[in-house]
Chain A
């Protein structure tokens, strides 16, 4: 049963992707192409390199989440930086290119200079992952050639169209992590540096400036969701999986296995719908379709 997979962005929520991948493997689905953005790009890169889902989970769990943030001297400006995470990834992905991947894979980012969604599918893999995960302002933008790249989720939170272009006649399974419209908007708390005591952090968050920033972040969250809904409406993935992760903060430290389980749960909910795509008449329709458009 061949499918293609689009993994959306959402920081820590993205560990749910691991659970979805595990279930797809267990049920014998064959992922023929994969596209990812932001955290979804990270998971896509590991999977396309040939890591089984269990090993992705073990690898991510081995990372000390306290060490993710920080600035490296040559970094572009950003609030938090991701120096620790980048250093850790360097060990695992350093020197690898898209040519090392076992399945076709595209990672998305947005070029700040042109305002266009860029599909990264060749060259250095680590650079592509870090560009795709560069939450604007929070993590440093990444320069590749003339481009100044930030998080692909800015314009397209779930890369359905890019993966469909990669494997035109396969059903697309999309994993979306942001909450649907109508649920309360989220502000995301930036992690508190260790040297700031909780009591002071609480006071700071009551300041008027902090509250104004909160309003900005909540409205960005709403805009992001609106874009997400529009894109899903237009791109119409055959199967949409929405793990219940709206309580998880984008930059929060999480139990990876617990979030991965939520991905499994969401997958189980759509499994009957997914299986129905592989009824003989649906397969035949796809085959005929692929003949008619060479």
Chain B
């Protein structure tokens, strides 16, 4: 059977990115050969794990672990940020150590945004840890990363689903699938609520959230979410992936921790949903997969 080669773009979206695990699992199970990955933010973490050869189960274990330890925490040396990424950084440093892009079994581009001039940057060599920390740096929330004389933040700022990055790694015949985690425009927004530390009792949190000042921040975040969806739409309109896969995760908050296994399963079911369209991209192998039955006379 001919291999169904495909390139894939894994979008950003914090905890929603866990659904990428299910997408990759379902694609592999259905005989697709993932030949290249373009990834940003949490998509980059999943992409790197997949590229190093970790199984879907092992990837889920990584997220279970991160859920236990948490991601945030500030340290004195990092760039200014509201939450900081101390625990996440500690974890990825221990887990990936000195591994570089050369250790990957699949070509991979991790994207980040250069904040000074607003450019999308493709990272394709060097330490995996450095690329990851730049790509997940949600502006203001997590510290910007200084690399190659640039201040880098989350690649999702300018391009939430790096389709061009994935496409640049394969020949023109190979289809590119985009895994999109942001809600489409026009769907009511999920309030990207301010996440208060759990130490604050619920009654106090309720009061804080009713403060006029906090509600103003809410509106700011809400409109940023819309801006992000508008950018996603325009990007997809111009980059034209061959297929869009949308796991049903729009209701999750980016900084939630969530149920790892369940979120991953949303990825599997999203692939099941588009499987007929996906097979249409491979007319030849589809024929092999479904042999012609001689029609009864």
Contact = CB atoms under 8 A, between A and B. Distances in A.
B52 interface: no
A215 B84 CA distance: 13
A212 B213 CA distance: 18
Interface string B36-51: 0000000000000000
A226 B228 CA distance: 10
B295 interface: no
Contacts of B226: 110, 112, 115, 154-155
B219 interface: yes
Given A223-B157, A234-B234, A112 B222 contact: yes
A136 interface: yes
Contacts of B231: 223, 226-227, 230
Contact of A222 (B144, B158, B237): B158
Interface stretch (B87-95, B181-189, B259-267, B274-282): B181-189
Interface in A153-208: 154-155, 181-185, 208
Contact of A78 (B81, B216, B228, B234): B216
A29 interface: no
A76 to B, nearest CB: 8
Given A136-B222, A215-B153, A223-B157, A113 B118 contact: no
A136 B140 contact: no
A1 interface: no
Interface in A18-43: none
B89 to A, nearest CB: 17
Contact of A115 (B82, B139, B189): B189
B219 A136 contact: yes
B116 A227 contact: no
A219 B113 contact: yes
Interface string B215-241: 111011011101111110011011000
Given A155-B226, A219-B115, A150 B219 contact: yes
A218 B139 contact: yes
A175 B196 CA distance: 42
B98 interface: no
B212 interface: yes
Interface residues of B, number: 42
Contacts of A154: 223, 226-227
B238 A233 contact: yes
A116 interface: yes
Contacts of A215: 80-81, 115, 139-140, 144, 153
Contacts of A137: 216-217, 219-220, 223
A113 B223 CA distance: 10
A219 B238 contact: no
B188 A113 contact: yes
A220 B219 contact: no
Nearest to B154: A219
Contacts of B144: 215
B251 interface: no
Contact of A182 (B80, B81, B119, B220): B119
A113 B185 CA distance: 11
Interface of B: 79-82, 113, 115-119, 139-141, 144, 153, 157-158, 185-189, 212-213, 215-217, 219-220, 222-224, 226-231, 234-235, 237-238
8 tightest A-B contacts by CB?
A137-B220, A216-B140, A230-B234, A136-B223, A222-B118, A77-B212, A219-B139, A211-B80
Given A77-B213, A116-B186, 5 more contacts: A113-B188, A155-B227, A222-B157, A222-B158, A223-B158
Interface of A: 77-79, 110, 112-116, 136-138, 141, 150-151, 154-155, 181-185, 208-209, 211-213, 215-216, 218-227, 230-231, 233-234
29 contacts: A79-B216, A112-B219, A112-B223, A112-B226, A114-B186, A115-B188, A115-B226, A115-B229, A136-B224, A137-B217, A137-B223, A154-B226, A155-B227, A182-B119, A184-B117, A185-B118, A208-B80, A211-B79, A212-B141, A219-B113, A219-B157, A220-B227, A221-B118, A222-B157, A226-B118, A226-B158, A226-B234, A230-B238, A234-B237
